[in-house]
Every structure is written in structure tokens, then in C-alpha cells.
Homo-oligomer: A and B are copies of this chain.
Amino acid sequence: MSPLDSLDNGTTMEEAERTVFFVSDHTGITAEVLGHSLLARFEGVIFHYLTRPFIDSPEKVRALIEEIGGVEGPRPLVFNTISDPALSAQLREAEALFLDFFAPYLEPLAAELGSAPSSRVGRYHSIIDLARYQMRMDAVDFALTTDDGLGAQHYGRADLILVGVSRAGKTPTCLFLGLQYGIRAANYPLAEDEFERMRLPEALAPFKEKVFGLTIDPVRLHQIRRERKPNSSYASLERCDFEVKQAEALFRATKTPFLNTTTSSVEEIAATLMHAAGLKRRLY
């Protein structure tokens, strides 16, 4: 949720602003992800987000409490994922609404699983750690090697091959699938050749069952391309409209399942594709 979101909501600035701290003894990503999901439901407030990762000592907690206390206006929100109970208890002293994302779940999980949680995340065995790293790197390398129609000789190893017009969101989706899920996704841009023949590119023929289409609203595509190449015929609304219509006709003619990316984030597109293709994460 961007602060800009609520600029014109009619409330005064002071009433509607709130500072939010995402606190972690690690990267802070867990706190950020859950915190944003929750706060996206409160539309009348302008949130100022501050992530405070690697808070892993009493000194750092003390400094953070001071920083929180120094915030002007209404008391901040603190989303906590510090796992050490003593440090969490110390942070609870801060002048803030304190919400803990870990503690409430550890007890029922411990009771259910019949074992006490370790205070630190278990270190992976180094061999498994390496295997995970390799899998992720392999998937990212795969996306780079097979980006934009390149490396068709590797399609046999692909989990997915995305097709669509230029700037429909193929490349970031492939990279995200690699980084987040360890999925090997290639992509191939549709252009004149395919539109004239109303067939998928030759290179894709043997891999039909892995092929998914991405499409996009022509006006949105026009806006995106204009940003990249202003005043080009490539970015013209007419051209965008033509390409999108042709691509969708091609998807229908070839019975290629396709997805409209216009109002979706890369995360949403990726999750939808995983689901539609029945793929399982290689990474957790």
C-alpha cells in the first residue's frame, strides 16, 4: 500500500498518519509481508513503513525503543518477529501498539508437535543448504538463458514456457518463479511471424503442454511501452491493440491457456501459473 493511496481521502493528515515498524532478528521480510497484508485492509490511513532487521541484542532493542519513543504523533505500530522471548519482552516496553507474529503460534505448535521450539532457526545441513542454493541458481540461470526466445535448446528442462507480446510481464514473472519457487520458466515473445501463421513458434511445438500465454489490456500495454520508448510506433495504442488482439486470437486458435496480467502483481501471476500448471515449489 503506497502512502499516496490515501492522499485525497478527506481526513486531515494528522489523524490519518501512522508510523509502522517491522522488527526482526533476521531480514524482516516475514514481518513486512504479513504486516502489509493486514494494513492493506485499513484504507483511511497513511502508513509510514520502517523495517528494522537484525535486532538481536539488548543494546539494539534499547536503541529501537528510543527510536520508537521519538516518533511524533500517535503511537506507532510495531510488528514483531524477534524469536528470542527475552528480547521480545524488552521490546514490548516501547510506546507502541505491539503485535507479535511469532509468540502466539509457537505454544500451540509445540503442544501439537510434542516438541519445544528451538530458539534459533535450525542451521541446514550444509549439503542440503548447497542443494537448495544450486536449485535456485539453476532456476535463475535458466530464466536468464531462455529469456526472450533465447536458448530454445533448453526447453526440455523447462517447467513452464510463457508466451506473449513484448512487455506483457513475461521476464519478471520467469525471474520471480525462479527466485521464489525454484521453477524453471522460459519465455518467448510473440510477434509478426506468429501472428501471420496463427501458430505457436516452431521451437515450442514439442512442449505444447508447458506453454502458457500472458495477455494484458492494450491501454495498459500502451502506457508501459510509452514509458520505455516514448513516441514510438511500438508504443502506440493502435499497435498495442493490434498485437494483443492477435496474441489472444492465437491463444484461442492453439488452445493455449492464458492469463490477463493487467491488474495482477508479479506474485499473483506467478502463484496463478503454479496453480494452473499444477507445479510444486522446488524451494521453501
List residues of chain A with CB under 8 Å of any chain B CB: 1-2, 4-5, 18, 26-30, 32-34, 36-45, 49, 51, 53-54, 77, 81, 83, 97, 99, 101-102, 104-106, 108-110, 112-113, 115, 117-119, 121-125, 128-134, 136-137, 140, 144, 147, 171-172, 175-176, 179-180, 220, 223-224, 227, 263, 265-268, 270-272, 274-275, 281, 284
Contact = CB atoms under 8 A, between A and B. Distances in A.
A121 B172 contact: no
B77 A97 contact: no
Contact of A122 (B5, B179, B281): B5
Which has the most chain B C-beta neighbours within 10 Å: A44, A109, A131, A144? A109
A145 B117 CA distance: 44
20 contacts: A2-B284, A5-B124, A5-B128, A26-B268, A27-B271, A29-B271, A30-B34, A30-B37, A33-B33, A38-B105, A38-B109, A41-B83, A41-B117, A42-B118, A44-B113, A49-B284, A77-B112, A99-B108, A130-B220, A130-B223
Contact of A128 (B4, B51, B104): B4
How often does this chain occur in the complex, in copies?
Answer: 2
Contact of A101 (B32, B34, B274): B34
Nearest to A263: B129
Nearest to A41: B117
Nearest to A133: B224
A176 to B, nearest CB: 6
Given A42-B117, A121-B40, A281 B51 contact: yes
Given A54-B275, A134-B227, 9 more contacts: A2-B128, A5-B125, A26-B268, A37-B81, A40-B121, A41-B121, A42-B109, A53-B271, A179-B179
B179 A224 contact: no
Contacts of A5: 122, 124-125, 128
Contact of A34 (B33, B77, B97, B130): B33
B179 A175 contact: yes
